Amino acid sequence: MTKAKTPKLSELLRRGEIFAVECPSREILKHVTSRWGVLVLVALMEGTHRFSDLRRKVGGVSEKMLAQTLQCLEKDGFIHRVSLPVVPPHVEYSLTPMGAEIGRKVESLADWIEINLPTILAAQRAG
Amino acid sequence: MTKAKTPKLSELLRRGEIFAVECPSREILKHVTSRWGVLVLVALMEGTHRFSDLRRKVGGVSEKMLAQTLQCLEKDGFIHRVSLPVVPPHVEYSLTPMGAEIGRKVESLADWIEINLPTILAAQRAG
DNA sequence: CGGAATCCAAGATGATACTG
DNA sequence: CAGTATCATCTTGGATTCCG
CATH number for the domain spanning A99: value is: 1.10.10.10
Please check whether strand C approaches the CB of A55 to within 7 Å: no
Examine residue B4 and state whether it is found in any structural domain, yes or no.
Answer: no
Examine residue A4 and state whether it is found in any structural domain, yes or no.
Answer: no
Examine residue B117 and state whether it is found in any structural domain, yes or no.
Answer: yes
Name the residue range of residue B27's domain. Answer: 22-126
Helix (H) or strand (E) holding A79: strand A79-84
Residue A92, sorted as left (phi over 0), alpha (psi -120 to 50) or beta, turns out to be: beta
Q: Is the pTM of this model over 0.85?
A: yes
Distances (CA, A) of A78 to A63, A67, B78, B82: 20, 14, 29, 41
Please check whether strand C approaches the CB of A85 to within 7 Å: no
Give the pLDDT score at B50.
97
Examine residue B85 and state whether it is found in any structural domain, yes or no.
Answer: yes
Look at residue A13 and tell me whether its pLDDT is greater than 60: no
What's the total number of domains in chain B? 1
Strand partners, B84: B90
Give the contacts of A44 (CB within 8 A, at least 6 positions apart).
A54, A79, A93, A94, A95, A99, A103
The rounded distance, in Å, linking the Cα atoms of A55 and A40 is: 9
Q: What are phi and psi of A81, to 5 degrees?
A: -115, 130
Look at residue A44 and tell me whether its pLDDT is greater than 70: yes
pLDDT single digits (tens) A68-118: 999 999 999 999 999 999 999 999 999 999 999 999 999 999 999 999 999
Examine residue B36 and state whether it is found in any structural domain, yes or no.
Answer: yes
Question: A100 — contact with chain B (CB < 8 Å)?
Answer: no
Measure the CA dihedral B7/B11/B13/B14, to 10°. -170
Q: Which residues touch strand D (CB under 7 A)?
A: A 50-53, 63-64, 67, 70-71, 81, 83, 88-91; B 30, 34-36, 60-65, 88-89
Could you identify the residue whose CA is nearest to the C1' atom of nucleotide C12? A65
